[in-house]
Amino acid sequence: MANETLTGNSAMAITGAIVVAILVYLTTTSWLWAVVLGLIVGYILIGVRIVRPTHRVLIEFLGKYQRYGGPGLYWIIPGIQKLYSVNITEKLVNVDRQEIITSDNLNAFVDAQIYFKVKEDEVHVKASQYYVFNYEYQIVSLARTTLRNIIGGMTLKTANSERNTINNNLAEALKKETALWGIDIVRAELKEIQPPADVQETMNKVVKALNEKVAAIDFATATETNADGQRRAAIKQAEGIRQATILEAEGKAESIRLVNEAANKYFIENAQKLKQLEVTQACLERNTKIIVPSGQSVVNIIGGFGDTSSPATPTESSGTATVLKTLGMGGGNY
């Protein structure tokens, strides 16, 4: 709103008038001249106006708009001209708390704050003074009705969870309605959406139950994950034991194979000789008499009888006799 600027003028005018009157009286010793000149100086000084950078001015001459001005020093004709200053800085107005019925038939107490400012150019400053009366009051009233329309079409839960949507819708509606007022709606903010005490208690119980449900689900998921990890670890351990057993068995089989190869390669002849010795021992135990040709070993002669790979045949050698006969147990001599 605009205020007629009278900052410091009255005191300055009165002080100036008294000083001039005293000086004139001391000079002329005439009270008449002192009073007249004092009134003239006071009248001149009372028309001085000082405008700060945060304001813009509208000057009227006999009730008619005359000109627009910025910050600085002005002099107007008192009683004929008037100077109105308009604050162009951002302002805050509170939208008083009101009870609103939501679409789910619940009551909610809602209040808000509106931030706005008058645009600083001449057209908008004039519009804020000549197109609307007391724009601050108008903005508050408009915000209250707009909030009822917006929140009345929502459920209480939706209204609490979509504050940004409500703020944006409220700001857009106010901008549209105040477009001709020279006002710039900076932003609109909900301060509080408070349901009745019993509704709030019920909502708290619902939220608590949902939180407990989520916690239970998280705990079950963690338990399942832990069990799955233990199962995988057991499988890995069993696979390791199985692999180790297979490797151990393969190692033993390989060692047995090598032993068999060594036995087949190096001990066949020794086994045949052992068999010959066993036959010789058996013959000697039966008192069998054997004629051994010269150059032959008794083991070779007798062992020939135990050779299973070929039939036993007498052995001949140059300058030697052959085996005449094998004798049975208790036989005679030749």
- 171, 175, 176, 185, 192 from 179: Cα distances, Å: 12, 6, 5, 9, 27
Q: Are residues 100 and 190 in the same domain?
A: yes
pLDDT number for residue 327: 35
Residue bearing the bigger pLDDT, 205 or 203: 205
Within this chain, do residues 57 and 96 fall inside the same structural domain, yes or no? no
One domain for residues 296 and 310? yes
- pLDDT by residue (tens digit) across 118-130? 998 999 999 999 9
Question: What domain count does the chain have?
Answer: 4
Kindly state the average pLDDT of the residues 22-39: 82
Single out the residue in 174, 195, 216 at which a domain terminates: 195
The CATH number of residue 177's host domain is 3.30.479.30
Long-range contacts at 310-318 (CB < 8 A, ≥ 24 apart):
317/293
Q: Are residues 162 and 97 in the same domain?
A: yes
> 187 and 206 in one domain?
no
Residues 234 and 171 both lie in one domain: no
Phi, psi for residue 131 in degrees, rounded to 5: -105, -15
Q: What tokens were used for 219?
A: 């705990």
**255 & 299 share domain:** no
Out of 87, 105, 131, a domain closes at 87
Confidence of residue 197 (pLDDT cuts 50, 70, 90): confident
Would the pLDDT of 317 be above 50? no
Span 33-56, pLDDT tens digits: 888 888 888 888 888 888 899 999
Scan for tokens 């009286």, then name that residue: 25
> 70-93 pLDDT, tens per residue?
999 888 888 898 999 999 999 999
What order do you get walking across the sheet with 2-4 strand by strand? 2-4, 81-87, 55-61, 64-69
Q: Are residues 68 and 137 in the same domain?
A: no
How far is 173 from 150, CA to CA, in rounded Å? 10
261 and 273, same domain (yes or no)? no
Q: Does 306 share its domain with 286?
A: yes
Q: Do 21 and 58 reside in the same domain of the chain?
A: yes
Which domain, by its residues, includes 280? 268-334
The residue out of 36, 55, 87 marking a domain boundary is: 87
Return the H-helix or E-strand segment holding 118: strand 107-118
| Predicted local confidence at residue 304, as pLDDT | 53
Residues 264 and 244: their CA atoms lie apart, in Å, by 30
CB of 293 within 8 A of CB of 302? no
